[in-house]
Homo-oligomer: A and B are copies of this chain.
Amino acid sequence: MPLWLDTRSPDFGVSFKALLSMKREAAEDVDHAAQAIIAEVIARGDDALVAYSKKFDRVDLSALGLRVGAEEIAAAHARCSPEALEALQLAHARIVAFHERQLPQDQLFTDSVGVELGWRWRPIESVGLYVPGGTASYPSSVLMNAAPAKVAGVARLVMVVPAPDGEVNPLVFAAAKLAGVDEIYRVGGAQAIAALAYGTPTIAPVVKIVGPGNAYVAAAKRRVFGTVGIDMIAGPSEVLIIADGSANPEWIAADLLAQAEHDTAAQSILITDDARLARAVDAAVSRQLSTLPREEIAAASWRDFGAIILVSELRESIALADRLAPEHLEIIGPDAELLSQDIRNAGAIFLGPYTPEAIGDYVGGSNHVLPTARSARFSSGLNVLDFMKKTSILKCSAESLATLGPAAVALGKAEGLDAHARSVALRLAPRPS
């Protein structure tokens, strides 16, 4: 049974704080192991990849090959159901359309003193995309990571995915093909991250690495950060649902469970001003649980991390939501839009009764890679800008330098940086002939 809180209870402040600081992830210390694997890949290249794949994935890549060939991808595609392929195509088209709106504009302008300045965006040259293997191998995540990279203009997009016992979900290959992934290698774990960061004879290094993975992958990404760019470190998924009495308890329960089924460490929270709805949702969760293939996972998540918070009026939920900073936030009720406008911290907001979070996971068009573990307070979901970077541009004329130069000289001197001051001052003097 989930945690029940009530803002009218005298110990609410303490209980809510405990909810906020609930540790959902065992901080598995795999840093040393990841470090050793990285060193081995740097030293032994492809041989290390083959050896680790044999050890961890029970697959012989010296026979199968590291790189997945075009025929193999085509064969995988042929094995997918037409229904799933069609759904992937719809999802991809919508993701591309949404993310194309994120393409930034360059700016170059001349200011009042005649300085030309601005900035220019350019795509990152090459990106590595990590895709987990086994049951967490989601074709939708391939689309969510690859499509924005391609929209940004990334020229070389490299996917790595482990092949436990030689197997990869064929829909993952189909999604990669659809999204324009340029190279696929069947290797995973910290060794795949090392190969992407430092390169091997077979895998040329990339400039940035994105995509979720297990604790080893996360530790390796932290280690190689600096040598390459990385995206966020993903934590267990979470949803907060704010609903008034108008909500359908079965639908709310289904949404809470859609989050809970991801992972025993996932978190589903309901905030409502209606105690009757709260009880109905709780009962519906119990009922629906027993019919789920992933019942065990979802039940553990709901039992250990689920919460129902009663408030006296729905506006109270805004401050609570901002402190929880949920990855996913559903708001249901006549005031949904009004309430949502005051929310500052959330990865994504799903408005109204007909927007279950799962729509955003697949076909909404917005990205499903979103900040977890309260990091929506300071970061955004994956977007096109994550695959670009900007260069600022500055151009002074002799005249504009004459206007600005003296202040730069003054500041250089004030900071004790005389060579800074001189590099400007020299140009203010008449040009030596």
Contact = CB atoms under 8 A, between A and B. Distances in A.
B398 A363 contact: no
Interface string A361-380: 11111110011010111111
B389 A376 contact: yes
B423 A358 contact: yes
A208 interface: yes
Given A257-B419, A293-B416, A427-B251, A411 B349 contact: no
Interface stretch (A4-12, A49-57, A86-94): A86-94
Contact of A344 (B91, B122, B427, B432): B122
Contacts of A358: 408, 412, 417, 420-421, 423-424
Contact of A355 (B292, B348, B401): B401
B414 A87 contact: yes
Given A91-B407, A125-B377, A366-B394, A418 B294 contact: yes
Interface string A208-227: 10000000000000100010
Interface stretch (A32-40, A67-75, A134-142, A181-189): A134-142
Contacts of A418: 261, 292-294
Nearest to A251: B426
A270 interface: no
Query: Which of A233, A358, A379, A401 has the most chain B CB atoms closer than 10 A to its own CB?
Result: A358
Interface stretch (A111-119, A160-168, A306-314): A111-119
A2 interface: no
A405 B257 CA distance: 18
Interface in A374-433: 375-381, 383, 385, 389-398, 400-401, 404-408, 410-412, 414-424, 426-427, 431-432
Copies of the protein in its oligomer? 2
Given A119-B366, A250-B426, A396-B354, A91 B411 contact: yes
Interface in A249-271: 250-251, 254-255, 257-258, 260-262
Contacts of A352: 395-397
A355 B395 contact: yes
A415 B248 contact: no
Contacts of A119: 366
A394 B250 contact: no
Contacts of A98: 117
Contacts of A375: 226, 229
B392 A349 contact: yes
A347 B391 contact: yes
Contacts of A385: 385
A147 interface: no
Contacts of A362: 407-408, 411-412, 420
A381 B376 contact: no
Contacts of A244: none
Contact of A250 (B350, B378, B391, B432): B432
A273 interface: no
A263 to B, nearest CB: 11
A353 interface: yes
Nearest to A390: B380
21 contacts: A81-B414, A84-B410, A87-B411, A124-B377, A139-B415, A140-B411, A222-B222, A229-B375, A251-B423, A292-B418, A345-B389, A347-B392, A349-B391, A355-B395, A356-B424, A356-B427, A358-B412, A358-B420, A364-B396, A376-B389, A385-B385
Interface of A: 81, 83-84, 86-88, 90-91, 94, 97-98, 101, 107, 109, 111, 115-119, 122, 124-125, 135, 138-140, 171, 207-208, 222, 226, 228-229, 233, 248, 250-251, 254-255, 257-258, 260-262, 288, 292-294, 298, 337, 340, 343-367, 370-371, 373, 375-381, 383, 385, 389-398, 400-401, 404-408, 410-412, 414-424, 426-427, 431-432
Given A84-B414, A91-B411, A229-B375, 13 more contacts: A81-B414, A90-B407, A98-B117, A117-B365, A347-B391, A349-B392, A351-B395, A354-B397, A358-B420, A362-B411, A363-B408, A376-B389, A380-B389
